[in-house]
Amino acid sequence: MPLKNRSYNQENVIPHHFMSPEAMPFSADTQAVHSGRAIDPSTGALTPPIHLSTTFERDGDGSYPKGYVYGRSGNPNRDALETALTALEQGTETATFGSGSAATFSLLQALGPEDHVIAPQSVYFGVQQMLSNIFAPWGLSYTLVDTTDLAAMAKVLRPNTRLVLIETPSNPQLAVTDIQAVADLAHQANAYLACDNTIASPILQTPLDLGADFVIHATTKYLAGHGDVIGGAVVTRELNPLFEQLRTIQTIGGVVPSPFDCWLTLRGLQTLPLRVRAQAQAAQAIATWLAQHPAIERVLYPGLPDHPGHAIAQQQMMGYGGLLSFLVKGDQDTAMGVAAKTRLIARATSFGSPHSTVEHRASIEKGTTTAPNLLRLSIGLEQVDDLMADLDQALKG
C-alpha cells in the first residue's frame, strides 16, 4: 500500500544548522532524523551529548542563564526528546515520563476526583488496573465501553465526563476506533479526547490532526524501537489546563525519564519511519499468509479487508502497523503449544523491537476477555520468509 507523504510544521525543529528555509516544511522522515537534534555548539558533535548533571549553575544575580535549574524540572536530553515528539505528532508540547503507564497515569491524575473518564472495554490491561485499583478508590468514576460503537459511546458520556481515552488500533484485538467521530462526540460533551497512538506510531497515524486533544505513547515500543528503554509521553494539541496540570505532575511529582533513556529514545526516532514501514509491510504479508493457513481460525489485523475496522483504518492510517493477533484452531493449550515451538520468534511480552515476539495474552491478563486461543505477534525486522518459516513449523506442531 502506498504510504502518503506528510508535511510538517517547521516550528518544532531546533537544529537550524542543518536547515535551509527553502527546504521547509519537512516530511516526517526528515523530522525524525533532525528534530530535537542540533550540532553541539561546544564541540561540533553531530550526535548530542548526554547531560547527566542533576544541577545547573546560577548567575550572580540568582538567575539561570541557560534555562536549566535542576534535573527533575528540566534536562536538555528530555527537552530534545519532547521537541522531537511534538514535531512528529504535530502538537504544541510534550511531557515525557518514566514509562508509558506513567504517562497515562499522570494524565488521569491531572483530573479531579469529581471527574468521569470513558475508556475502551479492551483498554490496555495496565490502564484497566490503574482505573480500578488506584483511581476508583480515590474517587474518579469511569465507564468502560466499546469505543468502536459510536452509539454506545454517546450513551455513556456524562455532564462530568472530562476525558475520553481511546486506543486505536487496540491491544491485542487490533480494534479500530474512528478518531474524528469520537473527537466530535467528546467535544460536544466538553470532554477532552486522548488517543493512545503506541501501536500505530506517528508515522502511520497522527490523531491530533483528526481532532484528538492528546496523544499518549509508550515510547518503550516503536518510538525507542530497540527493546532497551521503558518510557512514555503525552503530546498535546494545544496548551490547556489539563496539560498544564500534567506538566506540574511531571516536574513536581517527579515521574521523569532519565537523560540516557531520553537520549536512546531520540536515537531510536531517527530510524522510526524506516522501521515502522518495514514492520507494517511484513505484518501485512504475514497476516495475509496466516489468514489462509489451515491451522488458523482467524487473523486480527486492520490491513486485512475482512477486518471490521479496515475501512476506518484506511481513512485515518497511512499503513496498518507491525502488530497482529491470530486465533489458532483449538484451545489455550494449542495456542501455548504453538508459542512454545517458535525458534526465531521469541516468547516475550511487549512489541515494537527489531526482534519479533509472540505472546499468549490471556494467560497474563487476569480476568480477561481475550480469547484463550489468541496469540499476539509483533513483527520485527527479520526477513519475512524466515518469520513465515518459523511460524509454519510451529503451527504444524
The catalytic position among 79, 115, 196, 261 is 196
Scan for cell 496523544, then name that residue: 215
Residue 196 bridge partners (DSSP):
167, 216
Nearer to ligand PLP, 83 or 265 (CB): 265
Is 221 tagged catalytic?
Answer: yes
The nearest distance, CB 361 to ligand PLP, in angstroms, is 11
The catalytic position among 221, 237, 247, 275 is 221
| C-alpha cell recorded at residue 374 | 489468541
Instruction: Return residues touching ligand PLP (CB under 6 A).
Output: 99-101, 124, 126, 167, 171, 196, 198, 218, 220-221, 230, 232
The catalytic position among 124, 142, 192, 301 is 124
Residue nearest to ligand PLP (CB): 100
What distance in Å separates the CA atoms of residue 320 and residue 250, rounded to the nearest whole number? 32
What's the distance, Cα to Cα, between the start and end of the chain in Å? 33
Nearer to ligand PLP, 100 or 296 (CB): 100
The nearest distance, CB 30 to ligand PLP, in angstroms, is 27
The nearest distance, CB 84 to ligand PLP, in angstroms, is 18
| C-alpha cell recorded at residue 204 | 502511520
Nearer to ligand PLP, 217 or 237 (CB): 217
Nearer to ligand PLP, 51 or 376 (CB): 376
The nearest distance, CB 209 to ligand PLP, in angstroms, is 20
Nearer to ligand PLP, 53 or 349 (CB): 349
The nearest distance, CB 389 to ligand PLP, in angstroms, is 27
Catalytic machinery residues? 72, 124, 196, 221
